[in-house]
Amino acid sequence: NVADAVRWVLGEQSAKQLRGSKMEDVIFAGTQNRKPLGFAYVAITLDNSDKALNIAYDEVTVSRKVYRSGESEYKINGSDCRLKDINELFYDTGIGKEGYSIIGQGQIDKILSGKPEERRELFDEAAGIVKFKKRKASAIKNLDTQRANLVRVNDIIGELEHQVGPLERESEKAKEYLKLKDEQKRYDVNMFLIEAERLKKEEDELNANLGIVRGHLDEERGKVEEYKEAFDEYEERIRLNGEAYEENMSSLNDNSIALNNSLGRIDIINEQINTARVNDAHIKERRESLLVQKDAKEKELGSYEKEYESKKEDSDKLAKAIENATAKISVMQDSIREKEAKLEGMKAELINIMNEKAEHKSKLQRFEATLEQINIRKAALNSKLIKGKSDQQGLQDELNSLKAKEEVYERDIEELKVTNKELENEITRVRGAIGDMNISIDKAQKDVHVSNSRYESLRNLSERYDGYNNSIKKVMELKNSKVRGVVADIIHVDKKYEVALEIALGGSIQNIVTDDTDTAKKIILYLKENKLGRATFLPIDSVKPSKFDKEAVLSETGVLGLASSLVDCDTVYRDLVSFLLGRIVICDEIDNAIRLQKKYNQSLRIVTLDGEQLNPGGSLSGGAFRNSSNLLGRKRELDELTDAIKKAEEVLENSRRKLSDLRQELANVREELEDNNRIINSKELDLNTIVMQKKQIEDKLSDIDNEYNESKKENLAINDEIDEINASIVETSEAVKALDKKNDEIGEETGSLSFLISDEKDELEENKDKLESLNMSMASLTQQLEFARVNVERVREEYDDIIASLDSMADRKEDVLEAIKKKEEEIEKLKSDIEDYKNIIADTKKKIEELKAEKEVLSKEEKSVYDKRETANSAISDLEKDEYKLSNRLEKIIDSGEELHNYMWEEYELTLNVAKELRDEELTSIDVIKKKLNAIKNSIKALGSVNVNAIEQFKEVNERFIFLTGQRDDLVASEQELVKIIAELDEGMRKQFVQKLEEIRVEFDKVFKELFGGGKGEIELDEEVDVLEAGIRIISQPPGKKLQNMMQLSGGEKALTAIALLFAIQNLKPSPFCLLDEIEAALDDSNVGRYAQYLHKLTKYTQFIVITHRRGTMAQADRLYGITMQEKGVSTLVSVDLMDEKAIS
């Protein structure tokens, strides 16, 4: 565990190497008496007064803590750090999980391994090239990253190279396309305006004609309405006549049907009266027959009722006898069952008594054996109580002494922690200031980066003449000494005038300034021959300044001056600026400009600061000005960016200086905090030792106290147990005697009860025979009684039917006589109704004839009105056709107008009023305009497919191409630098490794001879392999043997050879400490002695911690530590200073 703890604190990450399955296994898991812990913690402190470790402290404490959650903490002198920091601290010192400061059987096995390349790690550490190898690995990783980035950048640049050329051509085509589209718009708009005027004129004419037709329509529709009212009146009268006719016809029909019904009804009633009289005779005959049947049934019913009563009386007597016999049998059965149950209970009780008696005898034997064992336990317990009391007093004295020491340490640590809290607050404050300063630096760096990017972008745009026509670019690429530049290059304008001046200059801003006319002529010829487009030139020797003859304008409100006066330029260009801008007035805003234009009769050219332009003659132009190229503002913005970059860099430098001061302050406070933490750690370690010792004593005292109390309790319990057992013995003996007496009494009682049960069973059988005879007689009588009851019910039912029939005959006779009377009365009423129906029918026929005559007259008058209405409707139909034709033509004209307006809006986003501003009075012929449009469309068609976004795409792709080309150059330079670094590292490592390996080889032979008492040890590199990758062979020749490979040696010779190698490395490059874990286990006693003596010699420069079970090694040690486990699962350290012991002896 000690070796594992040291390996773990130095950075071991494999739980398997620490004999666990997961890192959580290193945490104390608890015992029966101790709870598990939540973390594991190890700290190791090294003396660094010789500065062997690359850290500015004389003492270095490395600590590691792991929690059950899996989180880890690493610290160097109390300050949080990374595992990487600990590894780098111990590189090439021999310390570390892979160094030679911790040597166990695993490392010995690796040295003894048959594979030479597996021994490399030990020799690399000894040669001091581990950190160089780590640096090389990091450099190779960076190189791979740079090469991957370079491949990606080259791929992108290759793709962009394929895009730049086509995009540039598409961009030029797009510009030509946009120019043609502007021309097309001009002709389209004017043709739209002419067509709109024509359509408006036709629309007005059609509206007038449509008004006349609609007037005639209204007149005819009025007539139709009058005829319709008259027609509707005749229709209503005819309808009423028809309704009256139908009503009388319906009445005639109803009364005729009623008359016929009444006559038929009289015939039916007479027939019903005859039928009723026949029924009355039948009823009388049937009644007399029923009276005879009634008398016969009365006699038969009396006979059957007497027979039933006689049988019923015999049945009741027999049932009573059966009931008495059954009750007697039941009583006897209950008595027998009760006696049998009692007998069974007595038998069971006898068995229980026998079992209980046997159990009591067994108890007596157990009580006697237990009593003997308890007496033995009581004697041993008394002896234990006496010893426990003696041990308790000695431990209490030791505990009081440790508590006093604990209080002193706790007070000192608390004072130090208060100081630490103050220092931590100071660190927090300084860190906050550093964080704020880093934010300021990031912002300043970002400002510098943004400004530099913008500056480079603008500079590139300016140098490439982006925003200028292709012909201008081609001229500027000639770099002719007599070409001074474009107009935008030779003038300087304040920012607030830039918009106004760009509008004022218009296309002239791209005019090229030359020294003389000849130069301009030559360049024009060059453009023509190479078909590079057109350009306008301003030769300095021929351009004359313009004169402005309205000086009064300059004093008007809102006038800022002539455009030429607002421009700065060299004197040589002043006439040229006057030529371009000397007659243009700059005004502050449009209202003042309009007022000024009106005052001077639309004779001025005025431009406002917002870009509105008023031209001579009265036309105006304006709107949103999108100055994407900003040709005039580029130089100004470049100068402003230069100043901004300078200021941002000054701010950045000041911030970095302040950050450096804050970091120094933080380092000072941290150093003070680390000193305090080191003192606290030291005192806490001592305090922890005291607490552990105190805890051990308290646990021992608690255990002794608990054990003493438990022993006392146990002694009392034993006395109680003895008394209880003696009482139980007496009680059990008495119980056995009582059971014997009870057994005799129950035996006598069971004999007499058995005889009594046998007599009662014989009597029961006799009574059961008697009951069976009575039941058979009862069954026969019950059958006879049921037959008599059925006869009585049948005859009574037949008698009741005859009585009911007689009552029914009497009721029916009365009903028949009453019905005949009512039918005769109904016939008299029907005869009266027939006379009334005949009178009504005659009146109705007369009315029907009158209505027919009236309808004929109304129909003739209605037809006359209908004919007049149809004539008017025919006229309306003709007029509606005329209205439809006119409306249809008007609708088509309106649709044509809307289509024109929609076309203008969809194509150019122009309304009629806005389009009128673009009217060219010279364009009056539709045919001419159509020819022009066809020519323009053919030109556009000849261009083929056009990508209007190509202009912007070309700009973006070209800028990205330039940027990535610079990035590629940087990556290539970085790659070459990394290759150079790796080569230098390889060269340095080879020299150092070869040199150190030779030193180790010589020292190994020397140590080998000393440990073996002669012989020879060799170290060789694999041939034909790079020195840095070659395997290492160890060849050993013990005294009196041939030179041979390690694998041919005995186990002890192998181990001693490996030990000789380790000691050789320690001689050349001692590690501050070295932990050896049973590496001499395979040696015999004589070799152990030599090993231990040599080890003692090495303690001059290295502290050795040796884990061993060999007596010879222990004898050479200065101090012995024993690891014991007095408490299960808890290790305890016991130490003996052998130097002191030797001095005493």
| CA proximity to 86, closest of 127, 50, 42 | 42
Give the integer Cα–Cα distance in Å for 732 and 720.
18
| Confidence bin at 1137 (pLDDT 50/70/90) | low
Q: How confident is the model at residue 1143 (pLDDT cuts 50, 70, 90)?
A: very low
Determine the 3-state secondary structure of 1023 from DSSP: coil
Q: How far apart are CA 622 and CA 497, in angstroms?
A: 16
What does the pLDDT read at residue 560? 92
Q: What is the pLDDT of residues 482-530, one digit of tens each?
A: 888 888 888 888 888 888 888 888 888 889 999 999 998 988 888 888 8
Where residue 94 falls (left for φ over 0; alpha for ψ -120 to 50; beta otherwise) is left
Residues 979-984: contacts with CB within 8 Å, 24+ apart? Answer: 979/143, 981/139, 982/136, 982/139, 982/140, 982/143
Mean pLDDT value across residues 172-180: 80
Give residue 43's pLDDT.
92
Tell me the average pLDDT across 910-932.
77
Tokens describing residue 21: 């399955």
Distance CA 657, CA 655 (A): 5
Token pair 């006066």: residue: 565
Which CATH number is 468-628 given?
3.30.70.1620
Handedness of CA 478, 481, 482, 486 (dihedral sign): positive
CA distances from 448 to 295, 459, 462, 641 (A): 143, 16, 21, 10
Largest Cα–Cα distance in the chain? 174
- The pLDDT, as a whole number, for residue 173 is 77
What is the rounded average pLDDT of the residues 1075-1084? 82
pLDDT band at 1083 (very low <50, low <70, confident <90, very high): confident
Unique residue bearing structure tokens 């100004």: 636
Q: Is 920 helix (H, G, I), strand (E, B) or coil?
A: coil
> What CA–CA distance (Å, rounded) separates 471 from 507?
13
pLDDT at residue 754, rounded to an integer: 66
Q: What is the three-class DSSP state of 1019?
A: strand
Strand, coil or helix: 347: helix
Query: How sure is the predictor about 607, in pLDDT bands with cuts at 50, 70 and 90?
Result: very high
Encode pLDDT of 696-719 as tens digits.
787 777 877 777 777 777 777 777
**How do residues 1084-1109 score in pLDDT, each as one tens digit?**
888 888 888 888 888 877 888 888 88
* pLDDT score at 584: 92
Q: What is the pLDDT of residue 1144?
A: 40
Measured between its terminal Cα atoms, the distance across the chain in Å is 33
Do the Cβ atoms of 175 and 470 come closer than 8 Å?
yes
Residue 585: pLDDT band by 50, 70, 90 thresholds?
Answer: very high
Kindly compute the dihedral angle of the four CA atoms of residues 966, 970, 973, 975, in this order, to the nearest 10 degrees. Answer: -120
Residue 1060 has pLDDT above 80, yes or no: yes
Quick count: other Cβ atoms within 10 Å of Cβ 1086?
Answer: 10
Helix and strand counts by DSSP (H, E) for the chain: 19, 22
In angstroms, the CA 607 to CA 499 distance is 9
Q: Average pLDDT, stretch 48-58?
A: 80
Tell me the average pLDDT of the chain. 78
Instruction: Give the Cβ contact number of residue 187 at 10 Å.
Output: 20
In one-letter notation, the amino acid at residue 866 is: Y
Cα–Cα dist 922/190, whole Å: 10
Domain 95-109+983-1145 has CATH 3.90.1200.10: no
Q: DSSP per residue over 804-871, as a string?
A: HHHHHHHHHHHHHHHHHHHHHHHHHHHHHHHHHHHHHHHHHHHHHHHHHHHHHHHHHHHHHHHHHHHH
Please tell me which residue, 532 or 908, carries the higher pLDDT value: 532
Q: What average pLDDT does this structure show over 1066-1087? A: 81
pLDDT in tens, 644-701: 888 888 888 888 888 888 878 888 887 888 888 888 877 777 777 787 777 778 777 7
DSSP-derived secondary structure letter, 1041: S
Annotation: CATH topology of 1-90: Rossmann fold (3.40.50)
Residue 63 has a pLDDT of 93
Burial of 755: CB neighbours in 10 Å, binned 0-12, 13-18, 19+: exposed
Return d(Cα 257, Cα 708) in angstroms, integer. 135
Q: Which residues pair with 958 in a beta bridge?
A: none
Q: Residue 165's pLDDT is what?
A: 76
Supply the pLDDT for residue 27. 85
pLDDT at 1145 over 50: no
When pLDDT is averaged across residues 1041-1055 and rounded to a whole number, the result is: 70
> Per-residue pLDDT averaged across 809-820, rounded?
74
pLDDT at position 224 is: 75
CA 625 vs CA 269, 499, 502, 566: distances in Å: 115, 8, 10, 20
- DSSP 8-state assignment for residue 497: G
Question: Which segment of 586-590, 946-950, 991-995 scores lowest on mean pLDDT?
Answer: 946-950
Q: What value does the mean pLDDT take over residues 935-946?
A: 80
pLDDT, one tens digit per residue, over 269-284 is: 777 777 777 766 777 7
Domain extent listing, the chain: 1-90, 95-109+983-1145, 468-628
Side-chain-side CA neighbours of residue 603 (13 Å): 7
Both tokens assigned to 460: 């590139």
CB 632 within 8 A of CB 585: no
Pairwise pLDDT comparison (977 vs 812), residue with the higher score: 977
Q: Grade residue 586 by pLDDT with cuts at 50, 70 and 90.
A: very high
d(CA 281, CA 260): 34
Closest CA to 1018 of 1031, 991, 1000: 1000
DSSP secondary structure, 710-751, as one string = HHHHHHHHHHHHHHHHHHHHHHHHHHHHHHHHHHHHHHHHHH
Q: Residue 514: its pLDDT value, please? A: 93
Of residues 870 and 593, which shows the higher confidence score? 593
Looking at the chain, the whole-number percentage of residues with pLDDT higher than 70 is 88
pLDDT: is 46 or 760 the higher one? 46
**Residue 390 pLDDT:** 67
Output the CA–CA distances (angstroms, integers) from residue 1040 to 990, 1015, 1036, in the order listed: 36, 7, 12
342-398 residue pLDDT tens: 777 776 676 677 667 667 666 666 666 676 667 666 666 666 666 666 666 777 777
* DSSP H or E stretch at residue 921: none
The dihedrals phi and psi of 606, each to the nearest 5 degrees, come to -125, 140
pLDDT, tens digit (0-9, with 9 covering 90-100), for 947-966: 777 777 777 778 777 877 77
pLDDT at 977: 81
Of the chain, the percentage scoring pLDDT greater than 90 comes to 3
Query: Would you say the CATH fold of 95-109+983-1145 matches that of 1-90?
Result: yes
pLDDT at 587: 95
For range 774-801, the mean pLDDT: 73
Counting every residue, how long is the chain?
1145
User: Residue 787: which of 300, 316, 307 has the closest Cα?
Assistant: 307
Its sign, for the CA torsion 262, 266, 267, 273, is positive
CA 1069 → CA 994, 999, 1057, 1073, distances in Å?
15, 10, 18, 12
pLDDT tens sequence across 1107-1129: 888 888 888 888 888 887 767 77
Contact predicate 126/1069, CB 8 Å: yes
Q: What is the pLDDT of residue 983?
A: 81
pLDDT > 90? residue 877: no
Greater model confidence, 414 or 11: 414
